Amino acid sequence: MPTVPGTVIPDPVSQVAGQGEFVITPTTGIRATGDGLPVANYLGELLRPATGLPFPVGDTGDITLVIEAGHPAGGYDLVVTTTGIRLAADDAAALFAGAQTLRQLLPPAIEGRAQADAEWVVAATVIHDYPRFAYRGAMLDVARHFFDIATVKRYIDDIAMLKINVLHLHLTDDQGWRIAIDRWPKLTEIGAATQVGGTGGGFYSHDDYRDIVAYAASRYVTVVPEIDVPGHTNAALASYPELNCDGRSPAVYEGIEVGFSSLCIGAERTYEFFDDVITELAELTPGPWIHIGGDESLTTPEADFLTFVSRAAAIVASHGKTVIGWHELGRSTRLPAGTIGEYWSFTTAQADAAAHALSFIQQGGRLVMAPADVAYLDMKYDDSSTLGLTWADGATSVPDSYQWDPAAILPGIDDDQLLGIEAALWTETLATIADLESMAFPRIACVAEIAWSARPSVPRNFADFAPRLAALGLRLDAAGIGYYRAPEVAWHH
């Protein structure tokens, strides 16, 4: 089935149809030099299996990838004519984003890994495109249920297709500590031995984690590791009695309650622990951000919480990283300048969330918006969903995930105060890649469009987006990526 023009997700800033089409042949090559070469090699790997064509990469070819100045930050220009394809951007990450667009201009069959019979043509077009937000995130909770490296890499490929460029890994929680810390080996010996439901568990060694970070980098995805403190820490508390104020460890936890755990704020050992953790994590993190959680510390007295947060954030800053924390961190007025707040209340702010979020702006920081009622992909779709939760204002339909705007939630918060947005996939009820993909897709495509495409002048109308989701469905089918065939979309088959 030829690609329907104008079906790219996220919607490009501008796309003008040309005359005719570019026909891919056995002699079609990909030309690139310097930093463009890794993108050219990636594109070749993407196109060879389904076409069975060689796509030589080198200094000749009708598909040209160019790194040159003159494009908006993160943006690219893609020109397809009958004689060639030219993709140009200021840097490799933007070129990679343009390659995702080119990928979507090819027939859906291109997504298959077995050779397919299709018209390998690209309709002539001129696309000028650039992202609205720099931080286009997907969070994956590997603490409630552990996911192996192959699964994480697959999820990286899933999100990269939609120009998402940040993978926030929720590495620690009550049910599991998933990153080895050499100085504190019991965190994984004990803290990683189980997971929700009591079957399974696991953790990433430093080499495993480096492997994930490198793979993400090859897709121009930055990894943001989260060590959630002082709450959501039962796995650490179960691993080391000295982290508990009474010197006694709780049992490992395999349920899905929240808010019951807290590090011992008054003990100096707690800060030695946290500094050791951040020392090792910072060394493993080429990206600028480390996330320290801060959510639902419901058993931590307020004064203790404020003491801990300012000390923990300072420790992260002392290792040269910018702190990200859930919006509760905004209760502190002593955060390192520029700390980023991740808003997870609703599209109508609940309780003090707005005040907490604004506190980051007042301290020279910005926000990442992850409103739980529209961007939490672990919410049920509807009554038919067997997986997922419903606490965030009930089920979240595919239209719900599309019909919102991050700059229309908090007073005084517009694009200038927003670093970006994030789709969160919590895994209390999700244990396999099939579970993850069926909850993430297609709603993550909605969030990806809001993260990249220009803010619409009128509120988003799902009816305008649904046909493009239907077209994406054909691509997901060909790629073998699972998705929920939401009734609100006229899927093509």
Give catalytic residues, as residue numbers.
296
The minimum distance between CB 143 and ligand IFG, in angstroms, equals 8
| Collapsed DSSP state (helix, strand, coil) of residue 3 | coil
Contact 341, 368 (CB under 8 A): yes
The minimum distance between CB 244 and ligand IFG, in angstroms, equals 21
Decide: is 295 part of the binding site for ligand IFG (CB under 6 A): yes
Decide: is 326 part of the binding site for ligand IFG (CB under 6 A): yes
Decide: is 426 part of the binding site for ligand IFG (CB under 6 A): yes
Contact 18, 123 (CB under 8 A): yes
User: Of 291 and 321, which CB lies nearer to ligand IFG in the complex structure?
Assistant: 291
Q: Quote helix, strand, coil % in the chain, to nearest 5.
A: 35, 20, 45
The minimum distance between CB 192 and ligand IFG, in angstroms, equals 17
Considering only CA atoms, which of 56, 133, 126, 135 is closest in space to residue 98?
126
The minimum distance between CB 232 and ligand IFG, in angstroms, equals 6
Decide: is 376 part of the binding site for ligand IFG (CB under 6 A): yes
Decide: is 296 part of the binding site for ligand IFG (CB under 6 A): yes
Q: Which of residues 337-356 bind ligand IFG (CB under 6 A)?
A: 344
Contact 8, 101 (CB under 8 A): yes
The minimum distance between CB 194 and ligand IFG, in angstroms, equals 17
Decide: is 62 part of the binding site for ligand IFG (CB under 6 A): no
What number of chain residues touch ligand IFG (CB under 6 A)?
9
How many C-beta atoms surround the C-beta of residue 238 within 10 A?
A: 25
The minimum distance between CB 469 and ligand IFG, in angstroms, equals 23
User: Of 291 and 366, which CB lies nearer to ligand IFG in the complex structure?
Assistant: 291
User: Of 22 and 305, which CB lies nearer to ligand IFG in the complex structure?
Assistant: 305
User: Of 132 and 327, which CB lies nearer to ligand IFG in the complex structure?
Assistant: 327
Measure the CA–CA gap between 340 and 160, rounded to whole angstroms.
23
Angle value at C-alpha 374, between 100 and 421, nearest 5 degrees: 50
User: Of 146 and 326, which CB lies nearer to ligand IFG in the complex structure?
Assistant: 326
Q: Quickly list DSSP for 168-228.
A: EEE-B-SS-B-B--TT-THHHHTTTS--GGGS----B-HHHHHHHHHHHHHTT-EEEEEEE
Question: Binding ligand IFG by CB under 6 A: which of 378, 400, 437, 449?
Answer: 378
User: Of 11 and 295, which CB lies nearer to ligand IFG in the complex structure?
Assistant: 295
Measure the CA–CA gap between 317 and 337, rounded to whole angstroms.
9
Measure the CA–CA gap between 447 and 342, rounded to whole angstroms.
15
Binding flags for ligand IFG, 252-271, as an x/- string (CB under 6 A): ------x-------------
What is the chain's Cα-based Rg? 23
Applying CB under 6 A, which residues contact ligand IFG? Answer: 258, 295-296, 326, 344, 376, 378, 389, 426
